[in-house]
Structure 1
Amino acid sequence: MKTGLTLGKFAPLHKGHQLMIETAIDEMDMVIVVVYDDPITTIPLKTRADWIRQLYPDITVIEGHKAPTDSGYTPEVMKIQEDYIKALLKNISVTHFYSSEPYGEHVSLALGAVDRRVDVKREQIPISATKIRNNPLQNRPFIHSIVYKDLITNVVLLGAPSTGKSTLSEVLAQHYDTQFMPEYGREYWEKHQVNRRLTMLQLQEIAMGHLAREDEYIQKSNRYLFTDTNALTTRLFSLYYHGHATDILNSLANKCHERYDVIFVCDTDIPYDDTWDRSGDANRMEFQKKIFADLKARGLSYTLISGSMQERVKQVESVLNDFRKY
């Protein structure tokens, strides 16, 4: 049986790496990918390994914890690398070693495997992980959507109606030269409301439609996506008007902690915009309390932002300057 091995940091995984893996899959009976731990990236080892597992579920992915950081081609360094790889493989016999680097020679020799080089001159896929780290958006065509989604910080703005979420989302997107996700529920409500009400199933449809639209915006974003409301708010509306929510809507709300990296709540310190489609300032204050209570019950951390638009932008900027996604 032909068994191919390739390895790397995949920080992040890009189409050059995928060419390597897919070439091995086409040529081998079994493929093993070793993902190295890497101090130069904040993206966790498991996240990088899971990208490959999702894209290629039939291959074997080994997480290389405490991988050697020594680099170069001295006999000592090469032996450290070779011994580490052999220890990871244990008793697995490798027939072909896939790479696009000079280390392919000594590693394949150490494993008694065929030295299989792929796209050494980067002519088929002219990209590197360094270029992507420096500017993911500019190099977007070389990154799979599964990977790119994990490179974007999803920032959600919550708050009762008429707290400035929509305006602030758009201003922040302009400030950071990126995308903002408009409130899908507003668009849906305007098309389907009857006497200013929606059914529980319609509120469920809002949450699902919002997520689908949000996924599209993430793929066009630059470092951040600013999202106007999410399924937590939609669920609260369902509880407010109907006393309960569908199982699907509850499930979507429960998964919000996995999807949003930073939560801001817009304060009620701006004048209430009393338009026909709203229920009054008293209801605004009541709904705001429900948002705070829900976030507390879920154990979700958030930052309350207030003041003028300029002050709110500065508050967001202060938080994001200190935030690291991983």
Structure 2
Amino acid sequence: MRRHGHGLVLGKFYPPHAGHHHLVRTAQDRCERLTVLVCAASVESVPLADRVAWMRQAHPGVRVVGTVDDIPMDLTDAAVWDAHMRVFTAAVPERVDAVFTSESYGDELARRFGAESVLVDRDRTLFPVSGTAVRADPARCWDYLEPPVRGALARRVVVLGAESTGTTTLARALTDHYRGRGGVWAGTRYVAEYGREFSEAKLAALRSRWPDARWEDVTFTTDDFPRIAETQNAREEAAARTGSPVLFCDTDAFATTVWHERYVGGRNPLVEKAADRVTHHLWLLTDHEGVPFEDDGLRDGEELRPWMTDRFRAELTRTGRRYVEVTGAREERLRTAVAAVDALLATGWHFTAPLPEHR
């Protein structure tokens, strides 16, 4: 039986975690309707819009609204409380019957709303996690994060290079290496190159009309490449939401801009936009030197490999993307790549500190 009419859950959700979601679900079960108010300060590094979107995805049956609150918290200062309440009531002007929190200030917040205070798991026994802990070490708190937040925080590593330079081999080897570390890393995901799947489908469609067709008979148009880039992005996002703190991608939308040059010539602005829409954190460029060219039925242009390597290198440099070039035998390439990924992970996530609180 739902005891309350309109319930309110208020917080920074910086970022949201399992404790927050338990609070919201508990409140939703006890109220006829529920509002979640996301309060973000301008100094914080996760945009308000992202936090609102994450909470809406996690709680589709709940009204989620957001507001900017740049007032430092001082639980001992009535004037500060008054200032916060002006922000809160401007965002949620309706009558509130119950305020749900897991914080010591819950009773005072509810009193100021003229509502009943409901404390939920204040000692955090069910979900021993906090926003502070997540910001300090997301990997350690990974199991407490919902898919949208995992997708946003996962470090995305791209392996790219000219044809037949070992990109797929290296991307899969890296995936196996990090899965082998166990724990949260056991869920490390690999995203295959959609462009190859697309190419296979093109060749199959051609052979359905001309059974003797070969790869060199396949033609690409500029309109093929935005589809390839967007599908690659979508598959990456799905994998990032369900994997570990690191994701390995066999090529990406940025690489597709160079493949467009290779097969069509020039640039396609739609592919460029797709490449800039998703944040990646490290690119591993596989050198063609010392790697035999293997024609698997979907490859040609062995003589173009030096040009492709140079174009990838030039575009990575021009766009300021962080990259490491891997050379040598397979084992040496894997060692170089693991060292680069470990260095990336060691840099952490760099959340800016929230506004100070005085209790």
Query: Same fold by TM (over 0.5)?
Result: yes
Tell me which residue corresponds to 1:127.
127
Find out whether 1:291 has 2:312 as its counterpart: yes
Query: Structure 1's 251 and 126: CA in aligned 2 closer, same or farther, altered over 3 A?
Result: farther
Name the SS of the counterpart of 1:154 in structure 2: strand
Tell me which residue corresponds to 2:287.
268
Which of 211, 215, 223 is the aligned partner of 2:233? 211
Aligned-pair RMSD on alpha carbons?
Answer: 3.8
Letter in 2 for 1:157: V
Name the SS of the counterpart of 1:260 in structure 2: coil
Tell me which residue corresponds to 2:87.
88
Shift of the alpha carbon at 1:134? 5.9
Q: Deviations over 1:209-265 (max 9, x none)?
A: 32332233212321110111112223332332223577xxx4243232341331324
Name the SS of the counterpart of 1:274 in structure 2: coil
Tell me which residue corresponds to 2:355.
none
Query: Structure 1's 265 and 115: CA in aligned 2 closer, same or farther, altered over 3 A?
Result: same
- Counterpart CA distance in 2 for 1:38 and 1:203 is 38
Gap regions ≥5 residues in structure 1: 71-75
Structure 1 residues 13-52: aligned runs within 5 Å: 13-14=16-17, 16-18=19-21, 20-21=23-24, 23=27, 27=31, 31=35, 33-37=37-41, 43=46, 47-52=50-55
Tell me which residue corresponds to 1:168.
170
Structure 1 residues 108-257: aligned runs within 5 Å: 108-109=110-111, 111-117=112-118, 119-120=120-121, 126-130=126-130, 133=138, 135-139=140-144, 143=146, 145-177=147-179, 178-193=188-203, 195-196=214-215, 197-200=218-221, 201-243=223-265, 250-257=269-276
Tell me which residue corresponds to 2:349.
324
Which of 42, 46, 66 is the aligned partner of 1:61? 66
Tell me which residue corresponds to 1:103.
105
Of residues 164-173 and 194-203 in structure 1, the stretch that sits farther from structure 2 once superposed is: 194-203
Name the SS of the counterpart of 1:138 in structure 2: helix
Shift of the alpha carbon at 1:47? 3.6
Shift of the alpha carbon at 1:304? 2.9
Identical-pair percentage: 21
Do the aligned partners of 1:159 and 1:165 also contact (CA within 8 Å) in 2? yes
Q: Deviations over 1:106-136 (max 9, x none)?
A: 2211x1421242644799x943543864644
Tell me the matched-pair count.
309
Gap regions ≥5 residues in structure 2: 180-187, 207-213, 352-359
Letter in 2 for 1:33: L
Which of 288, 298, 314 is the aligned partner of 2:339? 314
